[in-house]
Structure 1
Amino acid sequence: MEFAFTEEQRMIGETVRGFFAEHATSARTRTAMSGTGIDRQLWGAFAGELGLAGIGLPEEYGGVGLGMVELALVAEAAGTHVAALPLLGHVMLTQAIAKGGTEAQKSAWLPPLASGELIATAAWQADPVVRDGRMSGTFSYLPHGAVADLMLVHGKDGAWIVDLKGAGVTITAHVTMDQTRPLASAELVDAPADALELGDIAIAAALAAGWICLAAEALGAGQAAIDQTVAYSRERVQFGRPIGSFQAYKHRLADMVVEIEQARSAVWWAACAVDENSDEAALALHAAKSFAADTAFLCAGNMIQLHGGIGFTWDHDAHLYFKRARSIQTLLGTGAYHREAVAGMILGAAA
């Protein structure tokens, strides 16, 4: 597969990189971390000024009619700055409704989601009890679940939308490692649940968007870790020389660059394969999520070590990248889960 960005995609990439560089500052991210984990001003500008909360949605529902490649461009830029945005749950629910919802569901939910008015989260591989349109069960590890308005539930027998502000819902916020994407749990007791008409299609679309979002975020975070470490290696002087001139330091940086370039190829392969409905899409998604997440974790860990003492401090941003990378590794399936899926697709019963 040969891949190259279109002129429009290059413009989108430049726009979102400039937007996050200007607005997703370390100070604002840290302020969000001490609150709900969402930079509301950033989210408002992202959804309102840029209209990117509607990415991947048809224009008739308030979207901008773009695809997974454009979503990856946005998520990569957000990951570069560890932006405190509820992007993961948002893209999963919007894609689920767009691909598997009824016209009534699309008309009711997509416009307020596209405008950023509503915040979404998602429960992956849940086991709900559903009777007569009412759902009960406990749902854990909900990204930005404490402030979300809607929840996508992925169960064995279908997919549902649950209003988290409605009756029968109890939300418990948790103190989690990545404070830019805090997790929560939801306890439902006979809460109204709106079943998506095409459950299997909805979940496939939601997972594709979620895996691409996480993989692209990881790519952005890993690249930022490299860039900041390279900059530090030129500034920090030991024994009369910049530390970047030492061979051992160069080797670590070179290893990071090799890994990130492989991750970059995997992310764009996955996004392009989904947009083109390629037969390789499922394989590419599992490969991208696994490889990009592990690469971001490697780069963030090296970033801390190669910054020396300052890299271990709260004041430096290295720990933000490390925590985001570690969180991405576990969300929507661990590396082992995705690698096993890849092995099964390639080797079949021999896996």
Structure 2
Amino acid sequence: MKLVLSEEQRQLREAVRGFLRTASPLPKVREGYDPQVYARLNGELGLAGLIIPEEYGGAGAGLAELAVALEETGAALLPGPFLATSFAAIALTGGAAAGQAAVPADKELLAGIAEGRITATFTETELSCDDGTVSGTPAQVLSGMDADVLVAPARDGGGAPVLVAVELSGPGVTRTALDTLDLTRGQARVVLEGAPARVLGPAPESGIRDRLCVALAAEQLGVMRAALDAIVAYAKIRVAFGRYIGSYQGVKHKLADMHCKLEQAESIVRYAAWAADEAPEELPGAAALAQAYVGRACFEVARDHLLLHGGIGFTWEHDAHLFYKRAKADEVLLGPPRLHRARLAQLVV
């Protein structure tokens, strides 16, 4: 088991962190998705292709490396379809060893994702597939208005489970933007009525959802870390009643509690990412634990970070509400923590 980043992973973290610090600082986050930033993210760092096999232009890395990148994009509250595209890449490589496609490869799709030419998203809503067309209504598609391709499970005419890819700008597709809590990343309702689709191959029997849980937990870890760093820095400069607020016992205890949650969350995420790459038999329990604990802990840290900022934390101009909203949206993105706790309980019985 590896709970400490390798030297290569630390270098990846610093590269992503440095890029986002200059290309997508928090003031820019409020402007929403910038395709140019996304293009640079992939052109300069190749992040969308991290887990894409090398023969399709990717890095052939594992989920542990993707988790490192997602932690940094989460800390920066990066707008746009990076998480959604990562979900799609996981679906295309889920259940396989690092760098290997799990379904018969669609070279153009994988290469396009790896190069940053194609933004993709994934839905767990099962579609019906017949004669090269699909129908169905995924109600909440992450980055559904920004993505070029939707990857989804489906049932073919014989009832067999397959994985399909649908061009979201093609015929038979209607997209409607949804009003969401998280202002930095949108969702859409997608209606598919006989939309042309490419059947990629048999859907993996297991592994995709567990890997999605790990990837999301990695982003949540980054949100937690950035929120805690922000309030610690504020506690060192904010003066109330002639003293820095960080010197008050009530504030110190709260910050210590937040730090403990962060440390536990980091261990859980590192373990889950390791299990995804090295110990697939341990992945179901590790993934359930990741969302059962990290999802709630992320929201609690973001909430307390907002509260400890006091009056300024409640203002629209401050960044605290951005972290709060991302944390809450992420907490329920793959189902509320109670569902993951129930699954974890079943796995350990």
Q: Could you tell which deviates more after superposition, 129-138 or 279-288? A: 129-138
Tell me the residue number matched to 1:243.
Answer: 245
Q: Secondary structure at the match of 2:207?
A: helix
Find out whether 1:296 has 2:301 as its counterpart: no
2:176 counterpart residue number: 172
| Pair 1:62 & 2:64 matched | no
Give the alignment of 1:48-59 within 5 angstroms.
48-59=43-54
User: Which deviations, in whole Å up to 9, do the C-alpha atoms of 1:240-280 show, x marking residues without a partner?
Assistant: 11011001111111110111111111100100001103321
State yes or no: 1:135 paired with 2:139. Answer: no
Letter in 2 for 1:56: I
Amino acid at match of 1:247: Q
The reply to whether residue 204 of structure 1 matches residue 207 of structure 2 is: yes
Show the counterpart of 2:218.
216
SS of the residue corresponding to residue 332 of structure 1 reads coil
Three-state SS of the structure 2 residue aligned to 1:190 is: strand
Q: Distance in 2 between matches of 1:228 and 1:51?
A: 28
1:259-312: CA deviation from partner (whole Å, max 9, x where unpaired): 111111110010000110332111101111221111110011001110000000
Q: What letter is aligned with 1:115?
A: E
Q: What is the TM-score when the length of structure 1 is the normalising length?
A: 0.92
The corresponding residue for 2:35 is 40
Q: Secondary structure at the match of 1:197?
A: strand
C-alpha distance in structure 2 between counterparts of 1:100 and 1:66, whole Å: 14
- Tell whether the 8 Å contact from 1:121 to 1:152 is kept in structure 2 after alignment: yes
Deviation at 1:45, TM superposition (A): 1.1
Contact 2:129–2:154 (8 Å) recurs in 1:
no
* In 1, Cα distance between equivalents of 2:210 and 2:119: 19
CA distance in 1, matches of 2:291, 2:324: 17
Aligned to 2:30: 30
Aligned residue for 1:147? 146
Q: Structure 1: how far apart are the matches of 2:38 and 2:152?
A: 23
- Residue 314 (structure 1) aligns with: 316
Question: Aligned equivalents of 1:67 and 1:83: distance in 2?
Answer: 21
Q: Which amino acid aligns with 1:15?
A: A
Is the 8 Å Cα contact of residues 101 and 196 (structure 1) preserved in structure 2? yes
User: What root-mean-square deviation, in Å, do the aligned CA atoms of Structure 1 and Structure 2 show?
Assistant: 1.5
Distance 1:102 1:264 in 2: 34
Q: Distance in 2 between matches of 1:316 and 1:2?
A: 37
Aligned pair 1:81/2:85, yes or no? no
Letter of the aligned partner of 1:25 in structure 2?
P
Residue by residue, what CA displacement relative to the aligned partner does 1:121-171 show, whole Å, maximum 9, x if unpaired? 1112x1422222221111111111012111111357332211111111111
Shift of 1:2: 4.4
Q: What amino acid is the match of 2:150?
A: M
Contact kept in structure 2, 1:168 and 1:191, CA below 8 Å: yes
Q: CA deviation at 1:332?
A: 1.7
Q: Retained in 2: the 8 A contact 1:77–1:217?
A: yes
Tell whether the 8 Å contact from 2:180 to 2:186 is kept in structure 1 after alignment.
Answer: yes
Secondary structure of the corresponding residue to residue 135 of structure 1: strand
Instruction: Provide the TM-score with structure 2 as the length reference.
Output: 0.92
| SS of 2:169 mapped into structure 1 | coil
State the alpha-carbon separation in 1 of the partners of residues 194 and 128 from structure 2: 9
Distance, in Å, in 1 between the alignment partners of 2:347 and 2:200 is 28
Local SS of the residue matching 2:343: helix
Structure with the higher helix share, 1 or 2:
1
Amino acid in structure 2 at the alignment position of 1:137: G
Deviates more, 1:269-278 or 1:300-309: 269-278
Match for residue 339 of structure 1? 341
Structure 2 unaligned blocks of 5 or more: 94-100, 156-160
> After superposition, where does 1:116-135 map in structure 2 within 5 Å?
116-124=116-124, 126-135=125-134
Paired residue for 1:162, among 163, 166, 169?
166
Residues 47-87 of structure 1: per-residue CA shift (max 9 Å, x gap): 10111110111121110121111111100001111111312
* Contact 1:28/1:39, CA 8 A, preserved across alignment: no
Task: Could you tell me which runs of 5 or more consecutive residues in structure 1 were left unpaired when the two chains were aligned.
Answer: 33-37
Find the aligned partners of 1:137 and 1:198 in 2 and give their Cα distance.
19
* Residue in structure 1 matched with residue 231 of structure 2 by the alignment: 229
Distance 1:281 1:46 in 2: 29
